[in-house]
Amino acid sequence: MAENSVDFQGVLAEIQDEIDPFFGQGKNAGYIPALSDVPGDKFGMAVHTVEGEEFLIGDAQDDFSIQSISKLFTLMQVLGFDDIDIWSRVGREPSGTAFNSLVQLEYEKGIPRNPFINAGAIVVTDILASRSADASRRIGDYYRMLSGNLSNRVDEEVALSEQDHGYRNAALANLMRSFDNIQTPIPDLLDIYFRQCALTTSCADLAKAALPLACGGYSPIAQKQVLSTRDTKRINALLLTCGLYDAVGSFAYKVGLPAKSGVGGGIVAVLPNKFSVAVWSPELDSYGNSLVGSKALELFTTKTDLSIF
């Protein structure tokens, strides 16, 4: 199908019908109790083209917890600082392990494999925190600038819920500190990290916020260049190879778009120079990615014949 003849709204409606059998096969994130109560049958999807058209379906305007998708935006923010070399502290390779695994980090001497697993994201947040007295607000401001929605705020209940159960993230941060790869005091750092993960957003907001990755680093919402074209290319490459953790190979095979997932059930993906697309459905597969959301994106690229491949 030629791209300019794609009926995006029609495709979204078909997907909404066809994903029905996949509900009930996954499970909400249980390790953050505040996320386990979200109704599992929620489903929303939003497409935003680089020309400025928006297409929404289902619960596309409902708020949900951004979780690990926030890691994409803190990375964009840190790469926006000219004078920072983050790559001596974080790698650029797929991990092949779970997003919150401790195993690799010990034998790789506290250098996380990539910025999207939890350990890598904690280092990126540490870099941001070491340059800002109020990193939490700065992270929120940056996201609100990209989404254009001032009501994207920290859900305090989710932040607290994760704080109360964040033993693994505390272990990752402490392990990295023992290798001198963390500078911020750990309780402060974890607080900032949990708060970035607890930002609320919707599919419509997310599709807008990710647009710079489809527009060579330019945000049509903020109406400014937020990334260089070179960093935009690099982030898209990292999303393709690391954005869905140890499911990244299957996701590239089935969907074929650079993407980032979160345990709130959101996934955002981009096709450079064409569109961004966001989906939300809270039930997760065994890798911690939205099961219905992954299926919806597979249907989307199959039906439109639009992917990077």
Q: Report, as residue numbers or ranges, the catalytic residues.
A: 68, 71, 193, 245, 263
Query: Which tokens go with 252?
Result: 């590239």
Burial category of 106 from C-beta neighbours within 10 Å (exposed 0-12, middle 13-18, buried 19 and up):
exposed
Number of residues that bind ligand DON (CB under 6 A): 13
- Report, in Å, the least distance between residue 224 CB and ligand DON: 28
Nearer to ligand DON, 116 or 218 (CB): 116
Q: 82 Cβ partners below 8 Å, 6+ apart?
A: none
- Report, in Å, the least distance between residue 197 CB and ligand DON: 4
Binding-site member from 49, 74, 114, 118 for ligand DON (CB under 6 A): 118
The DSSP 8-state label assigned to residue 44 in this structure reads E
Nearer to ligand DON, 43 or 99 (CB): 99
Question: Other CB atoms closer than 10 Å to residue 2's CB: what's the count?
Answer: 6
- Report, in Å, the least distance between residue 264 CB and ligand DON: 7
Report the distance separating Cα 219 and Cα 287, nearest Å: 31
Nearer to ligand DON, 215 or 248 (CB): 248
The β-bridge relationship of strands 275-280 and 259-261 is unpaired
- According to CB under 6 A, which residues from 94 to 113 bind ligand DON? 99-100
- Report, in Å, the least distance between residue 193 CB and ligand DON: 7
Nearer to ligand DON, 260 or 303 (CB): 260
Q: Are 62 and 202 in contact (CB under 8 A)?
A: yes
- Report, in Å, the least distance between residue 196 CB and ligand DON: 9
Report the distance separating Cα 285 and Cα 182, nearest Å: 31
**DSSP secondary structure string, 167-232?**
HHHHHHHHHHHHTT---S-HHHHHHHHHHHHTBEE-HHHHHHHTGGGTTTTEETTTTEE-S-HHHH
Query: Which tokens go with 236?
Result: 């898209």
Nearer to ligand DON, 23 or 31 (CB): 31
Binding-site member from 35, 59, 64, 67 for ligand DON (CB under 6 A): 67
The 141-170 site mask, x for binding ligand DON (CB under 6 A), equals ---------------------x------x-
Report the distance separating Cα 23 and Cα 16, nearest Å: 11
Q: How far apart are the first and last CA of the chain?
A: 14
- According to CB under 6 A, which residues from 238 to 297 bind ligand DON? 261-263, 288-289
The 186-225 site mask, x for binding ligand DON (CB under 6 A), equals -----------x----------------------------
Nearer to ligand DON, 58 or 282 (CB): 282
SS3 of residue 100 by DSSP: coil
The residue whose Cβ lies closest to ligand DON is: 68
Q: Which residues would be at the binding site for ligand DON (CB under 6 A)?
A: 67-68, 99-100, 118, 162, 169, 197, 261-263, 288-289
